[in-house]
Amino acid sequence: MSAPKPSYYHPSAPNNCIPANSSRYVLVTGATGFIGAHVVDNLLAKGFSVRGSTRSAKKGEQMKAARPQYADKLDFVVVEDFTKTGVFDSFMEGIDAVIHVASPFFLDTTNNEQELILPAINGVKSILSASAKPGSKIQRIVMTSSFASVVDVSSTPAPGFVYTGANWNPLTYETAVDPASTSVIAYRGSKKFAELAAWDFIKTEKPQFDLVTLCPPMVFGPVAHPVADIASLNESNASLWLVADGADPLPGARVPAWIDARDLAEAHVQALIRPDAGAKRFIPASPEPFSYEYAADIMKEEFEWARDSVTANYKGGVKPQASYEVDGATVARELGVTYRSFQDSVIDLIKQVKETIA
């Protein structure tokens, strides 16, 4: 099975990429977020120069200060509202490629359309338009979409069903923005309609760059971005920390699939540098299903303190079961990514949070 080329893609577009181990300059949006910071680190380690965009000058300065060895390879630009037309235009000079990670990912909303859906869509339009301006030498854009834009939560898949990059969640825009819909539903819509906006842009504008989208499920693992306190922990890791901190009942997993943020960063960068990745839609996902019960078992096994804090109110020792499979194998094969174990991901995050943030 090969990663699919969405029908939204115009077939005459070239397969672009940027060479590895070069002094090429990559713009990463959302660079001071959980996934974005790992993407920044992966690029720097491979020799790229990186421009991060952030809403917070302070977080940009903190990221730079924590990486003194890359002082001349890393800079930040502040884009406070990336939904406004033209906000990226003055920051594109010299940029060879873009990894667009930024998108609202929080569930404590008051207006789903204004806070989640429109910023996600307009952020995509903004960065793609800036990348397509005359004189731009951008060759490829890699975008962080989500398994939320893939999974059909209303269906009960037949045994053995495998989600691939060819699947789309069937949510309508009307349902996503309906004030009666939960923020989880709205988030699923934000990711679907933002990704569609990107593929539509490629189809209608026929820019000089090609597009790769990555649709990861839950993302866990240690943080590389500035996190001031537990309340500032990103949404997905916050659920794992809740387990360590004694949540009772344990959170319920919305999907059984996951990936470590370090492996996801590798997938982003490989998607940038491999010629054949162009115009494809991938699901980076570990082959190992997860559950918060399994996470609780791991924490109790690994950390003495967790034996007191983690609730006893669950059935331990049960291997996570998934009601469907997710095709993470294509990313392993076509992007050369090796997946970490859930155990390593949980231990690395919880140890870090306990020792440096909590």
Q: How far is the CB of 158 from ligand NAP (least distance, A)?
A: 25
Among 54, 126, 131, 136, binds ligand NAP (CB under 6 A): 54
188 binds ligand NAP (CB under 6 A): no
Cis status of the peptide bond prior to 19, with omega within 30 of 0: no
CA distance 74 to 195: 27
Residue of 234, 257, 280, 260 whose CA lies nearest to 346: 260
Among 16, 136, 139, 146, binds ligand NAP (CB under 6 A): 146
207 binds ligand NAP (CB under 6 A): no
For residues 82 and 292, which CB has a smaller minimum distance to ligand NAP in the complex?
Answer: 82
Contacts of 266 (CB under 8 A, 6+ apart): 42, 335, 337
Kindly report the backbone phi and psi dihedral angles of residue 334, in degrees, each rounded to the nearest multiple of 5, phi listed first. -85, -25
For residues 207 and 217, which CB has a smaller minimum distance to ligand NAP in the complex?
Answer: 217
For residues 136 and 234, which CB has a smaller minimum distance to ligand NAP in the complex?
Answer: 234
For residues 188 and 300, which CB has a smaller minimum distance to ligand NAP in the complex?
Answer: 188
- Binding piece for ligand NAP, criterion CB under 6 A, among 40-48, 55-63, 151-159, 202-210: 55-63
CA distance 64 to 80: 18
Q: CB–CB of 331/285 below 8 Å?
A: yes
Residues between 266 and 305 with contacts to ligand NAP, criterion CB under 6 A: none
CA distance 274 to 272: 6
Q: CB–CB of 245/169 below 8 Å?
A: no
Residues between 70 and 89 with contacts to ligand NAP, criterion CB under 6 A: 82
For residues 24 and 59, which CB has a smaller minimum distance to ligand NAP in the complex?
Answer: 59
Q: How far is the CB of 260 from ligand NAP (least distance, A)?
A: 11
| Strands 325-326, 162-163: pairing kind | parallel
What would the x/- binding string for ligand NAP be over residues 224 to 243, using CB under 6 A? ----------x-x-------
CA distance 156 to 323: 8
Q: CB–CB of 188/176 below 8 Å?
A: yes
Residue of 104, 348, 355 whose CA lies nearest to 240: 348
56 binds ligand NAP (CB under 6 A): yes
116 binds ligand NAP (CB under 6 A): no
Residue of minimal Cβ distance to ligand NAP: 33
Residues that bind ligand NAP (CB under 6 A): 30, 32-36, 54-56, 59, 82, 101-105, 119, 123, 144, 146, 191, 216, 218-219, 234, 236
